[in-house]
Copies of this chain bind each other. A is one copy, B any other.
Amino acid sequence: MQIPQPYLLFLGDVTDPLAAKTARGILSWRPELCVGQYRLNSDTVSVGLTDLSLQEAKQQGAKTLIIGTANAGGFLPQTWLETLKHALELGYNIASGLHQRLADIPSLNQTAKENHCQLFDVRHYDQPLEVGNGKKRQGKRLLTVGTDCSVGKMYTSLAIEREMKAQGLRAQFRATGQTGILIAGRGISVDAVIADFIAGAAEAISPAFTDHDWDVIEGQGSLLNPAYAGVSLGLLHGSQPDAMVLCHEVGRQHIRHFPHMSLPSIQETIDVNLNAARLTNKNARFIGICLNSSSLNQDDALALCKKMEQQYQMPVTDPVRFGVATIVNNLLSI
Interface residues of A (CB under 8 A from B): 131-135, 190-200, 223-224, 226-235, 237-238, 255, 257-258, 260-261, 272, 275-276, 279-280
Contact = CB atoms under 8 A, between A and B. Distances in A.
A171 to B, nearest CB: 25
A272 B196 CA distance: 20
Contacts of A198: 195, 230-231
A195 B199 contact: no
B194 A192 contact: yes
A133 B225 CA distance: 9
Contacts of A255: 134
Contacts of A235: 230
Given A193-B195, A194-B195, A195-B191, A133 B227 contact: yes
12 contacts: A132-B226, A132-B227, A132-B228, A133-B258, A192-B194, A194-B195, A195-B197, A196-B228, A226-B238, A226-B280, A229-B276, A231-B234
A133 B231 contact: no
Nearest to A193: B195
A221 B177 CA distance: 25
A276 B229 CA distance: 10
Contact of A227 (B134, B194, B228): B134
A231 B230 contact: yes
B194 A193 contact: yes
Contacts of A257: 133
Contacts of A261: 134
A134 B190 CA distance: 21
Contacts of A237: 226, 229-230
Contact of A230 (B133, B199, B224, B260): B199
A190 B195 contact: yes
A229 B279 contact: yes
A280 B230 CA distance: 14
A75 to B, nearest CB: 16
Nearest to A130: B227
B195 A229 contact: no
Contacts of A200: 227
A34 to B, nearest CB: 29
Contacts of A233: 223, 229-230, 233
A228 B194 CA distance: 11
Given A134-B258, A191-B194, 9 more contacts: A132-B226, A133-B257, A134-B260, A191-B195, A194-B194, A198-B230, A229-B237, A230-B232, A231-B234
